[in-house]
Chains A and B, each alone.
Chain A
Amino acid sequence: MNSQSSPTPRNFLDIDRVTAAYGETQVLHGVSLDVSEGEMHVLLGPSGCGKTTLLRAISGLQPISGGTMTLGGTRIDDKAPDKRGLAMVFQHYALFPNMSVRGNLAFGLRGKGLSRPQIDERVERMLHTVDLTARADARPAALSGGQRQRVALARALVVEPRLLLLDEPLSALDAQIRKRLQLELKRLQRAAGLTAILVTHDQDEAMRLGDRITLMDAGHIAQTSTPAEIHARPANRFVARFFGEANILPADWFVPGLGGHAVVHPTALMPAPDASATVFTADVIDTEHLGALRRVNCRASGEEIRFDFLPASTPLDITPGTRIAFGVRGDAIHYVDG
């Protein structure tokens, strides 16, 4: 089930056969995962797949029932959350509303044996990094969603963690701010050389931010790979379905007699120029606009087919009821079992 690819430079976080349960319900089924130093690793999956549980298990906020975890060579699964050397940004930020931005940042530094000037210096430096110096005395309620997200990030970074955990940190923001903050987050992570694990259910966000992506399914790891690899070469039908709304078609449409399925992305299909290039024909059901792309939904031999094209460069006159002959480049087909 778990297919790891591309050798990592150095395993920084090593998760080995971790299991976790909520009461009688097993949520993680022996999950194993390696995260390299300086990597932005994305945990992706549908709701309830166990990605947040895994993140909380790494943080120590969720007890595990089996397996081990090491960070930088030191075992951490037997340590208290604050002794693991990590920080977390919560989905709804979890900022302390009765404290100013500065107070929120300083809270985690108190009790760490730092002097008052040292705390002030680190807080000011972090406020400058996230560009919130001017709002240092504001309460969270007076900040915009984007600013609160930056405070949450700054509060996590100010303790100088070895590993940063991000639990859907951008999910509460609107699309515009979200895209801008995705870039900012990536820039900050790269600049600081931080190792980070980000949980999201948004595949676009995963593709944009992740150096590697782990796709989870019902407490198991379905695949861990780079964004390009996981998109082009999904390990199974679940992964293929999750990414890019790929067409999953019987493999023997392309190679007679071959069992299993062929994964063909909607952009990999093209109208066949002649009969010899035709792989299959399909009837158009309807069309829809996807920004610059146009999607054509078709049906062929009981299978639903999605075909995307760029009207600006490929002018096609397609209307419902039309029959289209499709061809596919051989290298655009990926075969999966089952």
Chain B
Amino acid sequence: MSRHLSGSFLFLLAGLFALPFLAIALSAVATDWSDALLPRHIGLDVITSVLGDPRFQASVLRSLAISFTALALSLALIVPAIVAAHVYWPALDRWFARLVVLPYAVPAVVLVVGYLRVFSQPPVQINGTPTLLALAYVPLCFPMLYVNVKNALQGLAVRDWLDAGRLVGATDERVLLCVVLPMIAPAIGLACVLNLGILMGEFVYANLLVGGRFETLQIYMFAQRSESGSVTSVIILAYFLTLLLLTALAIWLSARGGTDKR
């Protein structure tokens, strides 16, 4: 009885959560929806027109370019640092853990105002440029990368592998590249997917740092809010589906990482 009840409750909850998504999906395909509970006519006209809009395509490409640039930079900076701290300077690790959450601890507006002041004058005058946005996104990627990579490293016998390598003349770099990196790759992949989801949906930094000069997906969505509801729905639907895809990828990567330790 209680099992039936909890099952029904879960279904109800799932339905409640799915309702806005279904409404948006319906709105995206509605061609005439004005005086009834459900649309009178549906079609793919709006979807094809939005997806074919060069401005939409450009905004998606800009968002992807900025996100991948920020991810690449953060990977290059933080992953070697996490591994080095874990292997060679474990005492510094707890400081590391505190430092990487700073982008979450300081309100985004405060950070952005700081960036705008610092980069408004020489020597690095990059206010309003996509470079500044990409650089501002880099620290945002740190917490997710740190947590995932650190968790993956904790289950590995890295020091033993390095010792085993040293005895046969393999440098630490070779062991780290050939053994440790493949072992933490699923965790890095998972962090990248999650970060990509965050960056693709980021609005505050993009709006304040570059605004309309470099229209990302979120800025485009914001600009389209005054157009027809169907257009906004299509954009939101596309964004939701992308996030869904990324989440599925993250779950798959996380399951893959969990089954292949040691």
Contact = CB atoms under 8 A, between A and B. Distances in A.
17 contacts: A60-B167, A61-B166, A80-B169, A81-B166, A81-B167, A82-B166, A82-B167, A92-B160, A94-B163, A98-B182, A107-B165, A107-B168, A107-B178, A108-B167, A111-B168, A111-B170, A140-B262
A61 B162 CA distance: 10
> How many of chain B's residues touch chain A, expressed as a range?
10 to 19
Nearest to A108: B168
A99 B181 CA distance: 13
A66 B179 CA distance: 34
Contact of B262 (A81, A99, A141): A141
B51 interface: no
B169 A61 contact: no
A112 interface: yes
Contacts of B157: 92, 94
Nearest to B174: A111
Contacts of B167: 59-61, 81-82, 86-88, 108
Secondary structure at chain A's binding surface: helix, strand, loop or mixed?
loop
Nearest to A90: B160
Interface in B199-222: none
A82 B164 contact: no
B59 to A, nearest CB: 39
Contacts of A243: none
Interface string B144-174: 0000000000000100110111111110000
| 6 nearest CB pairs, A to B | A108-B168, A82-B169, A94-B160, A98-B182, A94-B164, A96-B179
A240 interface: no
A77 to B, nearest CB: 15
Interface of B: 157, 160-161, 163-170, 178-179, 182-183, 260-262
Contacts of A139: 260
Nearest to A155: B164
Q: Which of A59, A61, A155 has the most CB of B within 10 A?
A: A61
B167 to A, nearest CB: 5
Contacts of A141: 260-262
A97 B183 contact: yes
Nearest to A103: B178
A305 to B, nearest CB: 44
A150 to B, nearest CB: 16
Interface string A55-71: 00001110000000000
Nearest to B158: A94
A159 B179 CA distance: 19
Q: Which of B164, B169, B179, B183 has the most CB of A within 10 A?
A: B164
Contacts of A81: 166-167
A94 B167 CA distance: 12
B161 A94 contact: yes
A59 B164 CA distance: 11
A112 B168 CA distance: 9
B262 A97 contact: yes
B166 A97 contact: no
Contacts of B182: 98
Given A99-B179, A141-B260, A82 B160 contact: no
Contact of A159 (B161, B165, B168): B168
B194 to A, nearest CB: 23
B164 A98 contact: no
Given A98-B260, A107-B168, A109-B168, 7 more contacts: A59-B167, A83-B169, A92-B157, A94-B164, A97-B261, A107-B170, A107-B178
A97 B178 CA distance: 11
A92 B178 CA distance: 20
A314 to B, nearest CB: 49
Contacts of B170: 107-108, 111
